[in-house]
Structure 1
Amino acid sequence: MDAVHDQGAESFREFVAGRSSALLKTAVLLSGGDRHAGEDLLQNALIKVAGKWNRVEDPEAYVRQVLYRQQIGRWRLKWPKREVSYGEVPDSAAGEGSASAADLRVVVREALGRLTGRQRAVLVLRYFEDLPEADVARLLGCSVGTVRSTTHRSLAKLRALVPELGPGAAGPSPSRDYAPVEVRP
């Protein structure tokens, strides 16, 4: 039995060493850009997973699910919510209308921190984790319609907070004018 335990402990250590960086990025995003809160979130998730390690079939998926569920629990416990308020709308990150990639990441991270926990989780799961709406709904315990409406409202709020993300920010938007195509038999 000790050999099985030692083998499981070693595979857990290897998993943590190999995947903790990627998992930390997700945890920080779920925590609204707060690195310390993200580290705490990840550490607590790994502690929970360590006790069940030998029964886990897909370790990364399981750890991510524990992360999401823990963060949901944090939102429900936090009342009243701590929000950062600003006296004035921040200036553009680059000052010339377009931000460098690094500046834009900082501005987006700050803007994510100003969203509600649910809004932030939906955006992280949909766009950072690239999960389909049905999977996001299952993870968050809500309907697909709720995921869609929350995504829409969250993106609108994020675009209001970070105008660089609005239409045309990444170049011209694709044209909706399509030339007719002749189809021959």
Structure 2
Amino acid sequence: MRTSQRDQEFSEFVSAHRARLVAMARLLTAGDEAWAEDCVQTALTRLYLAWPKARVAENRVAYARTAVTRVFVDETRRAHRRREVTAGPDCPPDGPRRAGAPDGAETADLRHDVLAALAGLAPRQRAVVVLRHWLDLDVAETARQLDCSEGTVKSQNAKALAHLRDALGDHVVPAQAATAHEETR
């Protein structure tokens, strides 16, 4: 394949799928925008180098998601990641919530709480939750992307969901209660 054709094909792929990869990485990194961008950029670099193999893959998007997930897991193993703490306007310090906050603030608070709960998970647990529940992958595909057994995916998922239920408390509404609530409206 000629380089210009390869570059054009890769550029089209990136244009079509980069935003979704960044959104996925944002969840993996518990809202850390810069780290999410770094994970996607590193994954896309690896993907470009492996493009002859990736372009013939059955599902290029799944191939890219796997690359992003593996970059995230690799990065969590680095010592500097364990020491860094992100703080900024999008990541307010933990503290009491404002009572009687205006509309939209409740959504921002919930978003902050969910990202904080995700941040409290071990990296592989977070990856399992994102792959299984945000991307709606089955256990087998999640195991393939994380390069682990299906049993590991199931146990990590159970532990992660228990942690999220504890961390989110009142924000968690069981499916039956949510359905009953919708019916009474």
Structure 2 CA distance for aligned equivalents of residues 140 and 174 of structure 1: 33
Q: Helix, strand or coil: the match of 1:145?
A: helix
Aligned counterpart, 1:68 = 69
Q: Aligned-pair RMSD on alpha carbons? A: 2.9
- In structure 1, list runs of 5 or more residues that go unmatched: 176-185
Indicate conservation of the 8 Å contact 2:25/2:40, yes or no: yes
Deviation at 1:79, TM superposition (A): 7.6
Identical columns (%): 37
Indicate conservation of the 8 Å contact 1:32/1:110, yes or no: yes
- In structure 2, list runs of 5 or more residues that go unmatched: 86-93, 181-185
User: Which of 4, 24, 34 is the aligned partner of 2:32?
Assistant: 34
Output the amino acid matched with 1:33.
G
Aligned counterpart, 1:18 = 16
User: Which of 34, 47, 50 is the aligned partner of 2:48?
Assistant: 50
Structure 1 CA distance for aligned equivalents of residues 12 and 147 of structure 2: 31
- TM-score between the two structures when normalised by the length of structure 2: 0.76
Structure 2 CA distance for aligned equivalents of residues 54 and 153 of structure 1: 38
Indicate conservation of the 8 Å contact 2:75/2:81, yes or no: no
Structure 1 CA distance for aligned equivalents of residues 127 and 80 of structure 2: 18
Indicate conservation of the 8 Å contact 1:93/1:104, yes or no: no
Structure 1 CA distance for aligned equivalents of residues 164 and 145 of structure 2: 22
Output the amino acid matched with 2:26.
V
Aligned counterpart, 1:180 = none
Which structure has more helix as a fraction of its residues?
2
Indicate conservation of the 8 Å contact 1:45/1:66, yes or no: yes
User: Which of 82, 102, 111 is the aligned partner of 1:105?
Assistant: 111
Deviation at 1:18, TM superposition (A): 1.8
Output the amino acid matched with 2:138.
P
Output the amino acid matched with 1:123.
V
Deviation at 1:24, TM superposition (A): 0.2
Aligned counterpart, 1:129 = 135
- The one-character-per-residue Cα deviations of 1:37-94 (angstroms, maximum 9, x if unpaired) are 000000001111112223322321211111111222223333883487xxxx854687
Output the amino acid matched with 1:70.
V
Counting matched residue pairs gives 167
- TM-score between the two structures when normalised by the length of structure 1: 0.76
- The one-character-per-residue Cα deviations of 1:120-172 (angstroms, maximum 9, x if unpaired) are 1110011011111121122223222221121111111112111134344x671
Indicate conservation of the 8 Å contact 1:93/1:107, yes or no: no
Structure 2 CA distance for aligned equivalents of residues 131 and 91 of structure 1: 36
Task: Tell me, yes or no, if structure 1 residue 172 matches structure 2 residue 177.
Answer: yes
Aligned counterpart, 1:78 = 79
Task: Tell me, yes or no, if structure 1 residue 151 matches structure 2 residue 149.
Answer: no
Q: Helix, strand or coil: the match of 1:33?
A: coil
Greater Cα radius of gyration, structure 1 or 2: 1
